Amino acid sequence: MRVIVRTVSELCITVGTLIVLFVAYVLFWTGVRADGAMSDQIDQLHRQWSQGSVPKAGSSGERSVSVAKPAPYHYGKAFAIMYIPRLGFTWNKPVLEGTGRDVLAKGLAHYAGTAQLGQEGNFAVAGHRRTYGDPFKDFPELRPGDAVVLTDGTTWFTYRIDQGPYKTVPTDVEVIDPVPRKSGYTRPGRYLTLTTCDPEWGHSHRLIVWAHLDSTQSVEAGEPKALRR
């Protein structure tokens, strides 16, 4: 009887230790790796952009500029950096092409098949709510009127949130349609959709926000107003 009790006790301790190690991996180590990966992606983009040419701007003020169609995006490659002042003025994340698990572990993920940045249609992006750096941990704090700013190294794109956070189920794929029916938009435009999981530590539902392209300007004109403290 003592042998049985001791064996069961040892098994419980072993299982408990494994559970603690797994939780530590999920909560801590994935975050450390993701933070490093996102920083590397942003550094690579800055190096890439510093070696390219930037269109000349006629003035230092914020204004609309002609947005050329971007080159095709490549799976797993970063092509833009996103800033959301509501989530903190130091909050910035790389945006990569594709929504595979390997991509989401390195930053925000652009839904392949949706519009490219700044183009007509719906530029749709997903991000983890928790784990892998917690990029969208504070997603519920987003409000209509908030700015979502992106840059591709030559142009700043400032989107303004119109609707959300809206709660739905994972099968509701209409949220990333070119004109999302539940967004309130009724005609084609230049839209942005952000998606993440809900609840905070689950994935039974999704939270959505929709935004429209409010303004663009050359990077040589300086940061857009939304990023100025």
Of 159, 127, 160, 133, the closest CA to residue 26 belongs to 133
84's tokens:
């959301």
Instruction: Locate the DSSP E strands across 18-84.
Output: 78-83
Concerning whether 12 is annotated as a catalytic residue, the answer is no
The enclosing H or E element of 92 equals strand 92-97
Of 159, 165, 150, the closest CA to residue 83 belongs to 150
Spatial distance between the Cα atoms of 149 and 216, rounded to a whole number of angstroms: 10
12, 46, 74, 128: the catalytic one is 128
Spatial distance between the Cα atoms of 142 and 92, rounded to a whole number of angstroms: 15
Of 165, 170, 162, the closest CA to residue 203 belongs to 170
15's tokens:
């299982």
Of 84, 223, 105, the closest CA to residue 164 belongs to 84
46, 197, 205, 212: the catalytic one is 197
Positions annotated as catalytic residues are 128, 197
